[in-house]
Amino acid sequence: MSNLDAYRSKAAAWLESVRPTFGKCARKGLSEADDLALGRRYQKAKFDAGYAGINWPTEYGGQGLTHLEKVTFEAEEMKHGFPNAYFGISLGMPVPILMQFGEDKDFVRERVLKALQGEEIWCQLFSEPAGGSDLAGLRTRAETDGNGWKLNGQKVWTSWAQYSDYGVIVARTDPNVPKHKGLTYFWVDMKAPGVTVRPIKLAGGDSHVNEVFFDDVKIGDDHRMSPVGGGFAVAMATLMIERYVATDSGGFGPHLDLFIDLAKATDFGGKPAIEDSRIRQQIARNYAMRSGLDAITARAMLMMQAGMTPGPEGSLNKLVSVRSRQKLSELAIDLQGSSGFAYDAHGFVKDNWTNSWINAPTGRIAGGADEMLLNTIAEKILGLPQDHRPDKGVPFNQIPA
Ligand SMILES: Cc1cc2nc3c(=O)[nH]c(=O)nc-3n(C[C@H](O)[C@H](O)[C@H](O)COP(=O)(O)OP(=O)(O)OC[C@H]3O[C@@H](n4cnc5c(N)ncnc54)[C@H](O)[C@@H]3O)c2cc1C
């Protein structure tokens, strides 16, 4: 048994042991406040057991292991529906970037330890009404104010901002230069005067994304995490931090076996649906597609084990898997007839087809919309020419809005 296999079985055994306390059965019917409280306890249990900050430096409370152990743990963890979503962004991007770019090491260490133990949450304030795929088009301003800065503007789609203690934010500090060059990166206290968070209700009924407004929010220059005008590079570092996170060829939706069970149990024209050639074709197509994606993931893991960096083919994963999860979920709902519409507000996307279907569109936007992934594939894998960029080199304040 390789070291990684041994690590996987130890992690799987630990996860199994905490499943009754924190797994999806324990969460069923909880209010979001109670679920968050359970999530904080789960995060603390992970920290105590040595499964938090797996690939982070030990001086910051991490385990000092590699990215491979982290991805291996996450792949096992995602099988059980633990309440870990509240910490996904926080520990995924803002806190690692704080470790890398935060100046005051004592402050950074304190924040990291609290975040790792689920006591504090960080959000990522990048997207705006006019700056999503085109992040450098953002309009939130940071203007000098005494020895510090004053923030004004609006962010949108900020995950978990309503529970966040801190956030990392990119703001425009110079509108007179081309759009990528006039941005600066800061951290901000989400409880500071002038910060207003307004949850947005999604189709599935939950409100984990928010609008965040900044009205004359004062921040010190010690909140700055990039050179003035050098914020885009730190924003890119944030987005690239872990290009290879745990993937799921099922698009983070139900396992194909669940579809097969449904097709066996459902009557379709007097016979079990599994006997219909069109249903069998869909099962075969999905199986082939998922096997292809699993092969790409397996190759990426082997490359990382060999000390290499996986290539841009990782962008195929989310694009293909979430799209097909959406289609398969739709077919599963159709098979169930009108009962397919019954919506369980406490259902889980990994075993409830209706929840899976209604949540799939957000998966096709968050973390890079389908069309942006297609652009990446076109440019980085197929070597096609770059997308047309008419505002390249034009000072931001001369770009028509
Ligand atoms: C559930 C969820 C959680 C999120 N959490 C966060 C968060 O925590 N923090 C944060 O900062 N952001 C977050 N986002 C925002 C997310 O990053 C953006 O929604 C995403 O980058 C797309 O930006 P947009 O919504 O402005 O769409 P736009 O960029 O306006 O895109 C609209 C459409 O145009 C297409 N398009 C845009 N540009 C091109 C192009 N060059 N070529 C071809 N097609 C193009 C897009 O693919 C899309 O279909 C979240 C989004 C969702 C759905």
Q: What predicted TM-score, i.e. pTM, was given to this entire model?
A: 0.93
Distance of CA 1 to the CA centre of its chain: 32
Residues with Cβ within 8 Å of 25's Cβ and at least 6 positions away in sequence, in order, are 19
**∠ at Cα 120 (116, 121), nearest 5°?**
90
Range scoring the smallest mean pLDDT among 211-215, 233-237, 340-344: 340-344
What pLDDT is attached to residue 291? Answer: 95
Q: What stretches of 157-257 adopt beta strand conformation (E)?
A: 166-172, 183-189, 195-200, 209-219
* Cα 364 to ligand 1 centroid, rounded to whole Å: 9
Question: Does an H or E element contain 148, and which?
Answer: strand 148-156
Q: Which domains does the chain have, with CATH numbers?
A: 3-120 (1.10.540.10), 123-239 (2.40.110.10), 256-381 (1.20.140.10)
Q: Which of the listed residues 122, 323, 365 should we mutate to test ligand 1's pocket, taking the one with most ligand atoms within 8 A of CB?
A: 365
Q: Which of the listed residues 128, 133, 234 should we mutate to test ligand 1's pocket, taking the one with most ligand atoms within 8 A of CB?
A: 133
Q: What is the pLDDT of residues 240-286, one digit of tens each?
A: 775 666 678 889 899 999 999 999 999 998 999 999 999 999 999 99
Residue type, 198: R
Q: Can you spell out the DSSP letters for 238-273?
A: HHTTTSS----TTTTS--HHHHHHHHHHSEETTEEG
Q: Is 305 near ligand 1, meaning CB less than 6 Å away?
A: no
Q: Is 86 near ligand 1, meaning CB less than 6 Å away?
A: no
Q: Is 355 near ligand 1, meaning CB less than 6 Å away?
A: no
Atom of ligand 1 nearest to the CA of 124: 9
Per-residue pLDDT band for 239 (boundaries 50, 70, 90) equals confident
Rounded CA gap, 82 and 44, in Å? 13
Reduced to 3 states, what is the DSSP secondary structure of residue 230?
Answer: coil
- The burial class, CB within 10 Å (0-12 / 13-18 / 19+), for 72 is buried
What pLDDT is attached to residue 149? Answer: 98
Nearest to 300 by CA among 315, 322, 279: 315
Residues with Cβ within 8 Å of 134's Cβ and at least 6 positions away in sequence, in order, are none
Neighbouring C-beta atoms of residue 183, cutoff 10 Å:
28
Q: Is 158 near ligand 1, meaning CB less than 6 Å away?
A: yes
Nearest CA, atom 51, ligand 1: 366
Rounded CA gap, 111 and 106, in Å? 9
Question: Quick check: 189 and 144 in contact, CB under 8 A?
Answer: no
